[in-house]
Amino acid sequence: MKIFKEYGYYKELIERHIMDFIPEIEPNSKTLYDSMHYSLENGGKRIRPAMLLAACDLSGGDVAQALPYACAIEYIHTYSLIHDDLPSMDDDDMRRGAPTNHVAFGEAVAILAGDGLLTSAFEAMNKDMLIYFDSPELLKRRIRASYEISKGAGCKGMVAGQIADIESENKSASKELIDDIHLNKTAALMVAAVKAGAYLGGAGKELVADLESYGENIGLAFQIADDIQDTLEDRGGATADSGTIRNRPAYPTLYGLDESRKRFEGVIGNARKIIAPYYDNAEFFVELIDMIIGLAERGQIAADDKA
């Protein structure tokens, strides 16, 4: 009997519940709701929440109970994309084949939509914790999950990666700096997703550590593939929808395209090795590796903003 599910199963579950943990918004704040809803329902791949649910499953947990945390991580990811697209950051007009949030709603509303999504993530997780006051073990798992998500999203995770990335623009960066930027900007939230799922499912130390390394390697693979794609578009004369490709340090600039491809294969190989002992029960994590290779080959990582 097949117990463990595939990406499509998790994605569908997330799609069905994605608005469930957004607080009921007053009529006076309807624009805020519309703007948050616009970006949440705008065709993301839902990779991070699927990672969280699959890690919970692999650890023996109940995915239905992990939904507030899965949706929280997608709210955080969505806020990061809205803010990253702003004129003061990447200045992108299109994402996932549609106008970016600030183009559709204006800059002030887009900033507030990001703020609303970020805070809704913590509201969703804290509200869930309130249910478990009388079950210390279950409450502990939830506090751990929420802490991992805060850490991955915060000043030692994604936000740290973003500031280092911004400050390295038009400068030459060392290989260490570029690894550090990508580990924080892209991998940290993926690591948070699998660790949070593992804690929610009651995983032991070894599984938590394996999932953490898997998340790191997958995050790096994601970012290297994105960099390769940017470089190829640049060389082919294709432009992003915004018409600019920022001059930030990227793997191909430092390593060259061939070496970057080798590095991509290296981190993908690491992820395969880490997950191998769990193969019988880790269908999603193998599928995710193949999916990232496919996205990289088709140039579809963060793609839809370049369509």
Options 11-19, 137-145, 154-162, 168-176: segment touching ligand GRG (CB under 6 A)? 154-162
Q: Please list every residue from 67 through 86 that binds ligand GRG, using CB under 6 A.
A: 80, 83-84
Report the residue from 22, 38, 45, 76 that binds ligand GRG according to the rule CB under 6 A. 45
Q: Is there a contact between 82 and 113 (Cβ–Cβ < 8 Å)?
A: yes
Report the residue from 96, 144, 246, 272 that binds ligand GRG according to the rule CB under 6 A. 96
Decide whether 67 or 203 has the Cβ nearer to ligand GRG: 67
- The answer to the question of residue 142 lying near ligand GRG (CB under 6 A) is no
Binding mask 182-201 for ligand GRG (x = CB under 6 A): ---xx---------------
- The answer to the question of residue 248 lying near ligand GRG (CB under 6 A) is no
- The answer to the question of residue 301 lying near ligand GRG (CB under 6 A) is yes
The tokens describing 141, both together, are 């798992």
- The answer to the question of residue 159 lying near ligand GRG (CB under 6 A) is yes
- The answer to the question of residue 128 lying near ligand GRG (CB under 6 A) is no
**Residues in a beta bridge with 99:** 94
Decide whether 47 or 54 has the Cβ nearer to ligand GRG: 47
Report the residue from 13, 18, 47, 117 that binds ligand GRG according to the rule CB under 6 A. 47
Distance CA 13, CA 80 (A): 22
Instruction: Write down the least CB distance from residue 112 to ligand GRG, Å.
Output: 14
Decide whether 45 or 141 has the Cβ nearer to ligand GRG: 45
- The answer to the question of residue 117 lying near ligand GRG (CB under 6 A) is no
Distance CA 274, CA 297 (A): 23
Q: How many CB atoms lie within 10 A of CB 273?
A: 12
Report the residue from 63, 112, 158, 267 that binds ligand GRG according to the rule CB under 6 A. 158
Count of residues interacting with ligand GRG (CB under 6 A):
18
Residues that bind ligand GRG (CB under 6 A): 44-45, 47, 80, 83-84, 96, 158-159, 162, 185-186, 222-223, 226, 301-302, 304
